[in-house]
Structure 1
Amino acid sequence: MKKLVMQLEQLTCPTCVKKIETVLEKTEGVETSTVLFNSSKVKISYNEEEVTPKELSRKIMDLGYDVLSMKE
């Protein structure tokens, strides 16, 4: 299990948090995901054999949020 932290653009509302968490929870290979509203960060534990950081980033960007950086 690998861990990933993504820095997002500034999140503006709690609804943003729920949208991102819902999409990540439905993604195969994601064990856990936590969106931190105040710091605009997403912490993800995932199975690297099932999903890549690039795919996770794309899912968030498809919702309309910019991923500014990623750190494993």
Structure 2
Amino acid sequence: MTKIEGALSKKDGVENVKVLFNASKIKAEFDDSQVTAESLADTVTDLGYVVQSAKVKAL
């Protein structure tokens, strides 16, 4: 598990985190009543990575 996956998995409402380094993407299922995409992006930024955009796609 990567550092990013571990940090995001610890957030309330987040499940099934997968970092796709080859595509420069992170896929995560989350409950938007508990956590926002912006909060997840902030967590990744706090780890020292650059977040270009936070897109949310409903399942």
TM-score, structure 1 as length reference: 0.72
Aligned-pair identity (%): 45
Q: Which runs of 4+ in 1 moved over 4 A?
A: none
Question: Which structure is higher in RCO with an 8 Å CA cutoff and minimum separation 6?
Answer: 1
User: Gaps (5+ residues) in structure 1?
Assistant: 1-16
TM-score, structure 2 as length reference: 0.87
User: Gaps (5+ residues) in structure 2?
Assistant: none
Task: Please identify which structure carries the higher strand content.
Answer: 1
Q: Which of 19, 23, 26 does residue 7 from structure 2 map onto?
A: 23
Query: How much is the aligned-residue C-alpha RMSD, in angstroms?
Result: 1.2
Q: How many Å separate the matches in 2 of 1:31 and 1:21?
A: 10
Q: How many residue pairs are counted as aligned between the two chains? A: 56
